[in-house]
A and B are shown apart, each in its own frame.
Chain A
Amino acid sequence: MNDVVPLPVLLPLFGCGAALMFSRRPRVQRAITVSVLVAVVAIASMLLVAADRHGPQVAWLGSWPRPLGLALVADRVSALMLLVSAIVTLAVLVYSLAQGGASEDDESTPVSIYHPTFMVLVAGVSNAFLAGDLFNLFVSFEMLLFASYVLLTLGGTESRIRAGTIYVVINMVSSALFLIAIAAVYAATGSLNFAQLSERLGDLPDGVALTLQLLLLTVFAIKAAVFPLSFWLPDSYPTAPAPVTAVFAGLLTKVGVYAILRTQTLLFPDSPLSNLLLWTAFATMLVGILGAVAQSDVKRMLSFTLVSHIGYMILGIALGSAEGLAGATLYVVHHITIQTVLFLVVGLIEYRTGTTSLLRLGGLAKTAPFIAILFFIPAMNLAGIPPLSGYLGKIGLLQAAVADGSTTAYVLVGGAVVTSLLTLYAMAKAWALAFWRSEEQAREMSKALNEAAAEHDEPSLRHITKRAVEKNASEADRVMPTDVALAAGATEGDEEVDDLYDKPLHAREGATPRTLMWPTTALVAFSIALTVVAGPLFGLTERASVDMKARTPYVNAVLGDDR
């Protein structure tokens, strides 16, 4: 199986080139990209089986004498990540076939650009999971970042460009820092190969190793959106088209988490930073989830839950025990799936109603019962309601923390539980407003909020916010004061004001296209299936973490047993 390790990267690149060549023939283009991803799913499954049965699968590209050249490594963790990401990207790709499928000139999703770029993104994500070399990891990041720059600004609307600016600038800086880190690592060790680094970094003076570790952590923390390096995310993700946000939310931060997981276990075992990471995880969870509670737009809300739940994964990594790593790995798998599917469902809502604002949504349980089910199950999953995968991931992590037994670990248990509760709160709020409440009520509330906001001559966000909190104290349904601020913002010369309250919700009548529905449904089914296969899956992540802790299986597979 060693030979096929590069294929999950190479095939999408090939597909990208082919898609560009056939950019005038959308059907051919789609056939190419979809079949490439189907192939990647198949290869990833084979790799996972092979890695589980026969140990890490390694490809030395170009067959150069080791340790020259580059190695791609698919051990259990990489292969598992690869498989999940392949499944998710395939679902998203099929989902996006419906968008802009009708006309070439659909402004929000220009198809001929979308497909090749999406392929580069997939290649980058796959490569990041497989990279066995620090610089190659950097290249992977560049691939997925550049593709994401393009996808984020698709159509070039003002809000997307504005969001894109934040995203691009922050990521450019993080890329620069990554390069600096790579230079420093190479300066200190003379190698960039993970396996070789794992042997050489230990020989460095503690202080230097710690500096390098912190530098890499800073870089990856930006990618993974770990507090306090997470602020860029909720400001940039929500503006993109739904499938784009879905795949970003599902995969890109997890690539950062994976990088942290890989480097912390392989390069810096017995990390002295465990406590630091624990507290970062704590802050990430809580600050993130408070952000979600404060939102009135479903997309933004989900972007904040995304940040918040990164904290769970960091918790597992920080604990550093095999149980913790297994829990973190499982949580990554769960979160990739669930966060993607939620954004896809939000895309369905947007398709149906033309909005994702909780100020305006209403009546969906009646008008779109199937979408309601598709939203409710993953929403509960995200909130960790059993027996869904979010619960299982949470249990794995909490068990690891309880087994750790330190005071800090117990504080984290508390933080995780509170986060879980607040996630449920945010989800239930969205559910009550968008699905249960009638459209009529939605319109009334928007009006009331608008009036509340109009009373103010000083539209400073904080001020209105505070007033609104007082005002809303007795009000039911607890739509958040930021809504008032948003409504206030809308009053200031925004042409949308009238639209906002009087326009009926149905942007589109009739059935939602099947190409939107069935990938979403399939992904919901996949998320439920995670529960069914939880036993073997946990077994796999457990074996994976034991190997990660041991390090030798990876190192020997890459460098050979006979060193």
Chain B
Amino acid sequence: MILLISVHLLAALAAPAMALALGRKVFMALAIVPLATFVWAVLNAPGAAPVTQTVSWIPSLGTDLAFRMGALQWLLTLVVAGVGALVLFYCASYFHDDDRVGSFAATFIAFAGSMLGLVLADDLLMVYVFWEMTTVFSYLLIGYDMTKRSARLAAMQALIVTTFGGLAMLVGMLMLGHLAGTMRISKILADPPAASGLLTAAVMLVLVGALSKSAIVPFHFWLPGAMSAPTPVSAYLHAASMVKAGVYLVALLAPAFAGVPGWRAGILTLGVLTMLVGGWRSLVQCDVKLILAYGTVSQLGFLLVVLSVGTRAAALAGVALLLAHALFKSCLFLVVGIIDHNAGNRDLRTLSGLGRRSPVLFAAAAIAGASMVGFPPLLGFVAKESVLTALVDVTAGGDGTGLGPVAAWTVLVGVVVGSIITTAYTLRFLWGAFADKPGVEATDFKTPSPAFLASPVVLAVLSIGVAFFGGPLTKSLEGYTHQFPPGAHEAKLALWHGLGLPLGLSVLALVSGALMFVARRPIAHAQTKVAQPWSAQRAYLSLMHGVDRLSVEVTGFMQRGSVSAYLAVTLVVLLAFPGVAMLMAWTPDVQVHVWDTPAQAAAGLVVVLAAIMTARARRRLRAALLVGVTGYGCAVLFVLQGAPDLALTQVLVETASVIAFVLVLRRLPTYFTDRPLSAQRYVRALLGLAVGAAVAGIMIVATNARTAQPVSVGFPEASVDFGGGKNIVSVTLVDIRAWDTMGEISVLVAAATGVASLLFIGTRRSTIRRVGDLPQHHAAEPKTGGSWLSGPSTLAPEKRSIIFEVVTRLVFPAMVMVGVYLLFAGHNFTGGGFAGGIVTGLALVVRYLAGGRYELDEAAPIDAGTLLGVGLVIAAGSGLAPLAFGGAVLESYQYDVHLPLLGDHHLVTSLFFDIGVYLVVVGLILDLLRTFGSRIDRQIISEERDNDATNAEVAR
């Protein structure tokens, strides 16, 4: 069975390529697949044991590729495969050769495979899998005419409605599986879970899915819409197969769950209602295809009623009806397809004389129609007789269903009335499609080819033929029907049930229906007069519309697009959850240790004041400097805490940032632009205070809770013994937690490239231009030996300062030396690669400030990116290297080396890592200088030039 389904899906994959070679003949080739399935099913007619196949798929979910073909599945397989093959054969005549044949054929055959899987699956979740696959393929097929808005809407509508049902069903199935402890359908049916509220809910949810798929009120409206699909699709999906899925599911579950409260009441009510509503609506349609569509809705209601009753007779009758319906309804749709194709028209008001033009077509339609109304000796008659017999049995004492006489009679009456309407619309269909209408010009109709006619004719012949095999059919279906207790009479399918109430009702339906057909005009007139008080379609549209509207309202409300709003939400969440939790955790014995030394308070106060003033600052420069103050304040706190390394680094970082700020601020307006309204300012201030208080509270509470010893207690000893360094901070940074540092330097690299990317749009590289590269420079001013720095000569005289140049010349080498010293000293004394890098960087800053951008390039004639890259490669490489020596990543080794002149040294390999850090930091600062300094200089100069040019022009 898995093979058959897979072959369908593989055929779908191959179809587009095949279509390229074969054109529309691809349908013939593809028809072989369902045909083979049909033959397989015939050969595997239900015997003692059902055919099963199971392949484990996802044991964790309890779902397997489990397939099982019992009697019911066998019949449906025959329908799905048989009708599928016929419709595919028909498609070869219906479609023209164009580039969409391939995708259509692929979708169609994939659908057929999914449908096959759906009826054969023996696992609830597998049923759902195939169920939704049919939905999606059906969506694609309905939307085949994709540039038509109506087709797109219909496709969407079908998709949403059936998926809605499908999802409800999924939840129901999961609940059912949970209650039963298995997803295997055969096991659940053999041993259904005990009745409970949960079970009822589960079954009802499953039914929602079944009803929506089978277009039962109130979900019926999607099916007429789905008629936008090409007619072969309607014949197959919307008559023979997919819409039967819901009916099938009900039939499948009825043996175990027909007794669940709400099952009969719900389905019978909705089924009868659907039968009547569908039939009634079909009486006013002018499109012959829509007559059939509403007729299908009606018949699906009918089927559901019969299959949900839950007696053996009804079950047998229902299955027979299902088969009969598949045969006659697909035949009728195929007939409509031929009419549409060859006459280009489906409107019964303008169709005329087709019966005489193609008697074969008419005969096929008439036979199928006769079967639909239940005219002997056709299969439809056999089925309807059995249905009526079964229902009559129910009226007499319930026949084991527990239905009261009122309910049973209501159902019977409903079904008979429905049958009357069925007769009426069937006659109206036949008349509308084929009759000679007085006053209407005979339709121009091309006689269909025999190949085109073949499929509907075969289906019509089957409607007659199968009727004579009631006995064998009854026998074959025993595997299904015998799951129900035997009823009042022996259930059997036969052409002759004897004289009795059922036969009388059949005759009544035929005669009254004929009368109703005669009175079709007044009826249609009356129907159009009566305003529809409520329409499911409109309800659907307004619901979807409501969803759209709600989505816009909600999104408009939430998605403000404003940073401050989002920040406010974030901070409020912080207060509402961790903040409140902190208050609850605050016990009376929480101790607050205010300070170690009052100096800490002083430094803290400076930081706080600077922060507040920053927030109040209107000038950008002021804000930048104040932010710097908070940083220096922190550095003071570090010093007071006894952490000179941190303090040094902090001071250096603050200095570098302030310089960067100042360089950037040259290009920004002096003042901040928008200042919030005062009311809002207070709210913000309050929020800020509250968050600050909450964070302080959290820290106090957390500190008070500590009982365990911190890991850092072990650091000092390990630093010396294992890390080979006396500076714990430095050893921590480059060894114990070197991995963090590795991450952080990559952050620096990213930041540097990012800064460059924002200004040097398009390239990370800055061109290095040294003084010597300037052409006019060579010409105008030959190198003078006495100059302290060469760069400043490129500056305008008023921007130069000789003293600064001299000092720079003297200080620069010293600063670089200090930087390098800090790098090497770090392991044992204050310093480290990071601090060293910043000092070196600051030396470059000084050169830049004194001599401008050419001076910078003189001082560091290297691309910042390269520096960053080399640094990162060294750092990462020093991490990787120990692996080569059998060590762990970042493991460090110690050597005592003797260097000439410098004496004995204790070398720790983590130094290489620190060199990487150093280079990255220097690279970052160089990058910042080039971007915020040189680049902006250049912008300013070129703007000045432009301005001068403009001024000159204006002056002229």
Contact = CB atoms under 8 A, between A and B. Distances in A.
Contact of B701 (A24, A155, A208, A228): A208
B761 A150 contact: no
Interface stretch (B80-88, B457-465, B549-557, B837-845): B549-557
Interface string A75-97: 00000000000000000000000
A10 B876 contact: yes
Interface stretch (B40-48, B149-157, B268-276, B815-823): B149-157
A142 B749 CA distance: 12
A190 interface: yes
A512 interface: no
A10 B558 contact: no
B577 A214 contact: yes
Nearest to A154: B757
Q: Which 9 residue pairs across A and B have the least CB separation, nearest first?
A: A207-B585, A20-B869, A190-B710, A17-B872, A150-B754, A17-B873, A436-B146, A139-B743, A21-B869
6 contacts: A113-B763, A150-B754, A208-B702, A290-B550, A369-B103, A385-B132
A17 B874 CA distance: 8
Contact of B711 (A191, A207, A395, A461): A191
A316 B865 CA distance: 44
A331 B553 CA distance: 29
A560 interface: no
Size range of the chain B interface in the assembly: 35 or more
B726 interface: no
A120 interface: yes
A193 interface: yes
Interface string B732-773: 000111111011101101110110111101111100000000
Residue from B103, B544, B703, B757 whose CB has the most chain A CB atoms within 10 Å = B757
Contacts of A210: 581, 584-585
A231 B60 CA distance: 36
A538 B61 CA distance: 8
Contact residues of B: prevailing secondary structure = helix
Interface in A204-231: 204-208, 210-212, 214-215, 217-218, 221-222, 228-229, 231
B789 interface: no
A539 B60 CA distance: 6
Contacts of A117: 750, 753-754, 757
Interface stretch (A44-52, A60-68, A254-262): A60-68
B888 A60 contact: yes
B133 interface: yes
B547 A293 contact: yes
B161 to A, nearest CB: 10
B633 interface: no
Size range of the chain A interface in the assembly: 35 or more
A395 B61 contact: yes
Interface string A290-311: 1111100000000010000000
A291 B554 contact: yes
A392 B61 contact: yes
Contacts of B947: none
B761 A107 contact: yes
A291 B865 CA distance: 41
Given A113-B764, A542-B60, A399 B578 contact: no
Given A192-B711, A477-B153, 7 more contacts: A17-B875, A63-B891, A120-B749, A154-B757, A326-B60, A428-B156, A441-B149
Given A23-B865, A187-B703, A432-B155, A480 B736 contact: no
Residue from B59, B555, B708, B761 whose CB has the most chain A CB atoms within 10 Å = B555
A143 to B, nearest CB: 5
Interface string A518-543: 00000000000000001100110110
B743 to A, nearest CB: 4
B178 interface: yes
Interface string A87-117: 0000000000000000011110010110011
Interface of B: 56-63, 103, 125, 128-129, 132-133, 135-136, 139, 143, 146-147, 149-150, 152-153, 155-156, 159-160, 163-164, 167-168, 170-171, 174-175, 177-178, 541, 544-545, 547-556, 558-561, 563, 565-567, 569-571, 573-574, 577-578, 581-582, 584-587, 695, 698-699, 701-703, 705-712, 714-715, 718, 722, 735-740, 742-744, 746-747, 749-751, 753-754, 756-759, 761-765, 863, 865-866, 868-877, 879-880, 883, 887-892
B708 A116 contact: no
Contacts of A54: none
B702 A424 contact: no
Contact of B128 (A369, A386, A534): A386
B866 A480 contact: no
Interface in A421-445: 421-422, 424-425, 428-429, 432, 435-438, 441
A156 B581 contact: no
Interface in A372-396: 380, 385-387, 391-392, 395-396
A421 B178 contact: no
A234 interface: yes
Contact of A70 (B61, B550, B585, B737): B737
Nearest to B59: A535
A116 B561 CA distance: 31
A183 interface: yes
A208 B698 CA distance: 8
B747 A143 contact: yes
Contacts of B541: 473
B917 to A, nearest CB: 12
Residue from B103, B163, B709, B722 whose CB has the most chain A CB atoms within 10 Å = B163
B702 A211 contact: yes
Contacts of A59: 888-889
Contacts of B743: 9, 123-124, 127, 136, 139-140, 142-143
B750 A150 contact: yes
